[in-house]
Amino acid sequence: MSIENIEDKEITCWFSCGAASAVATKRTIELYGDKNKIRVVNNPIAEEDEDNRRFLQDVEKWLGVEIELAINPKYPNHSCYEIWDKGYMSGIHGAPCTYELKKKARQIWEKNNKSDYMVLGFTSEEKKRADRFIKFERDNLLTPLIDDNISKGDCYKILLEAGIAIPNIYHKGFPNANCIGCVKATSPTYWNLVRKEYPEVFASRAEQSRRVGCRLTRVKGKRIFLDELDPKAKGRSLKNMDFECGIFCEERSL
């Protein structure tokens, strides 16, 4: 949604430690910062690559604003592992980590803070997804990247030109800066990349998923445990995948 004249409003930019949300926040400040109050909020996740925190600090300096944290007080360690250990990792009901650490944390934050408009990192390739979000979730969404026809690739370039190194996890071939070993992903391509780049994480997910009885990956249409996955197995290209972990639980086929 594009609105030219917004004044005396509070706009919340939800920053995920990803390239797109960083640039979306920057554009929001440039477009609306003079006449409105802009707040930038992040949901910290313990299982993200540690370089995400470096990126957050770099972006904070670039934006010239403090990035606030929104957490669910029920989980002060904001750890997905702790939530999964209760016996459910992912399935037809989605992923409990997204609900507890992102959606619930956002709801608690919004209950205590005013927010007239919100901004998420929807890029130009994601107009249909943004339209669905506006139709089914919130109609107060601003879409600065879509309005300016800024793609995810453009976001990388903008950050590099600003002297900001993108999160390390992108350099390892992952399509986003989610937590490592995202349980919403089912592709063998994804999980074998986790096995290669973060073997200790793969081992942890394999052990925990076997213990709680969750088959996280799918090969030839069949769900299997991670410890059954052939290291050479492949699925779709990671470039064509979309399992961005946002503050709203949106089901996707991964």
Domains in the chain, ordered, with CATH?
Answer: 10-240 (3.40.50.620)
Write out the DSSP string of 227-248.
GG--TT---S-GGG------SS
Is residue 68 helix, strand or coil? strand
- Whether the pLDDT of residue 170 is over 80: the answer is yes
pLDDT band at 137 (very low <50, low <70, confident <90, very high): confident
What whole-number distance in Å separates Cα of residue 11 and Cα of residue 142? 9
Return the SS3 of 146: helix
Q: What is the pLDDT of residues 22-40, one digit of tens each?
A: 999 999 999 999 999 999 9
Cα end-to-end span (Å), the chain: 27
Tell me the residue type at 162. Answer: A
Q: So what's the pLDDT on residue 233?
A: 94
Q: Given a cut of 90, is residue 242 above it in pLDDT?
A: no
Share of the chain above pLDDT 90, in %: 86
Average pLDDT over residues 49-76: 97
- Measure the CA–CA gap between 99 and 94, rounded to whole angstroms: 8
Model confidence at 94, pLDDT cuts 50, 70, 90, reads confident
Is residue 239 very low, low, confident or very high in pLDDT (cuts 50, 70, 90)?
A: low
Q: Which tens digits make up the pLDDT trace of 206-233?
A: 999 999 999 999 999 999 999 999 999 9
Using alpha carbons, list the distances in angstroms from residue 58 to 110, 165, 168, 180, 205: 26, 8, 13, 21, 30
Distance, in Å, from the CA atom of 151 to the CA atom of 206, rounded to the nearest integer, reads 35
Average pLDDT over residues 158-169: 96
Mean pLDDT, residues 79-101: 92
Phi and psi at residue 181, to the nearest 5° = 75, 50
CA distance 97 to 88: 10
Residue that the structure tokens 């707040």 belong to: 39
For the whole model, what pTM was predicted? 0.89
Average per-residue pLDDT for the chain? 92
